[in-house]
Amino acid sequence: MRYLFLCILIIASACSKEQDNDLTFIGGRVVNPNLNYVTLEHNDTIIDTIPLDSRNNFGYRFHQEKETVYTFKHYPESQNVYLKPGDSSVLRVNTLEFDESLSFGGSSSVENNFLVDMFLLNEQDNDLILSYYKITPEQFIEKTDSILIHRLRKFEKLKENSDFTPYFQNIAESTIEYEYYDMKERYAFLMKKYVPSKFEEFPEDYFDYRKEVNFNNSDLVSNFSYMRFLDNYLRNRSIEICETDNRDCFDLNDHQNLKRRLNLVHAIFKNDYLKSNFFNRLIRREIVFSQTEKELKETLKIIKKFDLPPLNETELHQLTQIQSKYLVGKNLKYMNFRTPAMDTVQLHQVSQLEPTVMYTWSALSPESKNNNMNKIKELRENYPDINFISINLDFQNPNLWTNALKRFNHFSQTEFQVISDVPPNTYGFFRNYLNRVYVLDKDYTLTNNSLSLFDPELEKHILNVLGKN
pTM of this structure:
0.83
- Output the pLDDT for position 4: 42
Burial of residue 113 (CB within 10 Å: 0-12, 13-18, 19+) is: middle
- Measured CA to CA in angstroms, residue 224 lies from 106, 109, 125, 134, 180 at distances of 23, 19, 13, 27, 13
Strand stretches in 88-147, DSSP E: 88-94, 103-106
Phi-psi map region of 169: left, alpha, beta (phi>0 left; psi -120 to 50 alpha): alpha
- Output the pLDDT for position 455: 86
Percent of the chain exceeding pLDDT 90 equals 45
Domains defined along the chain, listed by start = 2-107 (2.60.40), 113-320 (no CATH), 329-465 (3.40.30.10)
Q: Which amino acid is at 403?
A: N
* 430 pLDDT tier (thresholds 50, 70, 90): low
b/e code 180-195 from CB counts within 10 Å (16+ = b): bbbbbbbbbbbbbbee
- The alpha helices in 58-108, defined as continuous H runs, are 98-101
Q: How far apart are CA 256 and CA 252, in angstroms?
A: 9
Mapping DSSP to helix (H, G, I), strand (E, B) and coil, where does residue 1 land?
Answer: coil
- Output the pLDDT for position 309: 62
* 15 pLDDT tier (thresholds 50, 70, 90): very low
Could you say which DSSP state residue 56 is in? S
The pLDDT of residue 249 is above 90:
no
- Output the pLDDT for position 425: 57
Burial of residue 361 (CB within 10 Å: 0-12, 13-18, 19+) is: buried
Task: Indicate the length of the chain as a whole number.
Answer: 469
Q: In this structure, are strands 336-338 and 415-418 parallel, antiparallel, or unpaired?
A: antiparallel
- Output the pLDDT for position 176: 94
The pLDDT of residue 403 is above 90:
no
Query: How much of the chain is in helix, strand and coil states, percent to nearest 5?
Result: 50, 20, 30
Give the distance between the most distant pair of CA atoms in the chain.
75
Q: How far apart are CA 276 and CA 268, in angstroms?
A: 12
Q: Which of 118-127, 134-143, 409-418 ranks highest by mean pLDDT?
A: 134-143
The pLDDT of residue 392 is above 70:
yes
The pLDDT of residue 281 is above 50:
yes
* Residue 134 φ then ψ, to 5°: -80, -15
Reported as a single tens digit per residue, the pLDDT across 135-189 is 888 999 999 999 999 999 999 999 988 889 999 999 999 999 999 999 999 999 9
Report whether 360 contacts 433 (CB < 8 A): yes
Mean per-residue pLDDT, 407-414: 77
DSSP string, 276-326: HHHHHHHHHHHHHT--SHHHHHHHHHHHHHH--TT--HHHHHHHHHHHGGG
